[in-house]
Amino acid sequence: MESSVHDPGVPIGALSADVEKASLPAPLRELEIRLGHPFVNSKLLEQALTHRSLTREGSRDGGAEALADNERLEFLGDAVIGLAAAESLYLRFPDLREGDLTRLRGALVSRRHLGQVARQLDLGRYLLLGRSEENSGGRAKPALLANAMEAVLGAIFLDAGLETVRRIVDRLVMDPSAEALGGQLLAGSGIGDYKSGLQELLQARRLGQPEYRTTAESGPDHSKEFFVEVRCGGKSLATGRGRNRKLAEQDAARQALESLRENGE
């Protein structure tokens, strides 16, 4: 019996002999040029651009079989971007430690940054939206754009493999911002003001003021690492670490922000 496991060196989109490059609409051919990747299986690109609002409306209209949204590709793209960004940072910044690399990767693969990358590509122009999302300004929504960016990179991974994704992530996601952000870390500065963001979120939700407490220090004097816990209302929100207390507080605030936003607390 033949194994169903595919050769990892062969792009998944090119496995089937009957996969042919469909005739893409002119706007999507333009997007391929902007991305720097002509799709073998162009249906992957179309799926990556298809928001669930369109599939839901298509289902009500009896066209569900022909529609698939981009959420599964978004899931895949999130992991692929994380790997490509981690490898790129590891090679770019040999002097940064694990905690700093983690913070830098977090900034570069964040919804905010990916939304900016999507806007630079004018990705909103190419999205396939349902009427409800179209009418509510979906083409300009940062979260929707960031999700679509992840889905597109997931589609590229399936179509052409990891090496192509590495090249595109480097050009679109890393090159414009990585060196500047890495330089901030090497100079002892933080990335973004997460403390202000956390305070604003807690105030908006009427949860109180954040409090920061140094819980531990480790390492020799010339290479110390600080651990800081952020609490609110008697509850621990997160613990961060950094080369000084300021960076550790920012890291704790960043993790608390991500947790609160993901859990909707």
Are residues 180 and 197 both part of a single domain?
no
Which residue among the candidates 69, 74, 100, 150 is catalytic per the annotation?
Answer: 150
Mean pLDDT for all residues in the chain: 83
DSSP tag of 139: G
The lowest-confidence range among 12-16, 28-32, 169-173 is 12-16
Place of tokens 């694990």: 98
Last residue of a domain, one of 126, 156, 184: 184
Most confident segment among 184-188, 214-218, 247-251 = 214-218
Is position 9 within any domain?
no
Q: At what angle do helices 245-263 and 98-108 cross, to 10 degrees?
A: 40
Higher-pLDDT residue of 194, 202: 202
Listing DSSP states for 195-207 in one string gives: HHHHHHHHHHTT-
| CATH number where 71 lies | 1.10.1520.10
Is position 1 within any domain?
no
Last residue of a domain, one of 184, 211, 234: 184
Single out the residue of 80, 96, 145, 85 nearest to residue 119, CA to CA: 145
pLDDT at residue 5 greater than cutoff 60:
no
C-beta separation of 153 from 80 below 8 A: yes
C-beta separation of 91 from 98 below 8 A: no
61 assigned to active site: no
CA dihedral sign of residues 6, 24, 127, 113: positive
pLDDT digits (tens, 9 = 90+) for 82-100: 999 999 999 998 988 887 7
Domain count, the chain: 2
Are residues 94 and 178 both part of a single domain?
yes
* Antiparallel, parallel or unpaired: β 211-218 and 225-232: antiparallel
CA dihedral sign of residues 12, 119, 199, 181: positive
Are residues 241 and 120 both part of a single domain?
no
pLDDT of amino acid 184: 61
Is position 174 within any domain?
yes
pLDDT digits (tens, 9 = 90+) for 18-44: 444 446 678 889 999 999 999 999 999
217 assigned to active site: no
Are residues 121 and 33 both part of a single domain?
yes
Are residues 160 and 199 both part of a single domain?
no
User: Which residue range(s) make up the domain with 90?
Assistant: 19-184
pLDDT at residue 11 greater than cutoff 80:
no
Which residue among the candidates 78, 87, 170, 258 is catalytic per the annotation?
Answer: 78
pLDDT at residue 135 greater than cutoff 80:
yes
pLDDT of amino acid 91: 94
Most confident segment among 20-24, 131-135, 174-178 = 131-135
Encoded amino acid at 215, one letter:
T
